[in-house]
Structure 1
Amino acid sequence: VRIVKRDETLGATIRNDHGKIYIARLIAGGVAARSGCIQEGDRILEVNGLPASDLSVDDVARILNRVDKGSVSLKLVPADMSTRTENGTPHVYLRALFDYKGKEDSRHPCPEVALSFNIGDILELLACNDDHWWQ
């Protein structure tokens, strides 16, 4: 997959699972999500021709999120179709018991894309199979 960027990050987070690097999340509206070529759960084999097995997760993250014009080439193993669909997965609804301003949360890993909500709002969780889904 080759993604062309214009002064923006890729818009994806990654995770290490037993020494293998995977796409953990796609940021809605980000370059990766808009491309339609990258899915959550895809395994990264190469980044710009470099074997992912020779890189740390931090190295891969730096390459993917470099904010400059140009392209990023990825060799991916597609996620299982079962991880790409929500068929049969129940949605979870929660009522917020407090106000939350995501952009003001210094502990949020990516505050510029954090959601905000108010006490009493109903939140629909579409995927919570990640240990850090609440982020």
Structure 2
Amino acid sequence: MKRILFFVLVAFAAWYAWKNWPTLLQRMPGHEAVVINQTGRTMTRVRVTVAGQTFVREELPDGQTASWPFRVDQDASFALTWEWREAMGERNWSGGMVPKGPMVQRHVFLVYGDGEVNYRAEPK
């Protein structure tokens, strides 16, 4: 009985792999979020949130970039949160738009010294 059950499971796994082989190996393209620090200060606790996913970088020195690949199931917007090592308080920015559709983009957040964020989306 155990052998029959084992054989059935192996046969089912082989059939499933045969039918779904292209989708098992196909790598779907994804978006990319890029934070560029142009503040003249060190950013700490940098968090980018999109579609329920949060990406974290503990420290981002001046002039450096941080990037994270991601995918979305629905149209979504961004939330960017950070602190400066030299100053108290948390800074927030929200906006931008990520489409669910087949078009993938690189989403660039350029952060300036006064806390201003310049967002742009460009083709990937």
Give the TM-score category using the shorter length.
Answer: under 0.3
User: TM-score, normalised on structure 2?
Assistant: 0.23
The answer to which structure has the higher strand fraction is 2
Q: Which has the larger radius of gyration?
A: 2
Which structure has the higher relative contact order (CA within 8 Å, separation 6+)?
2
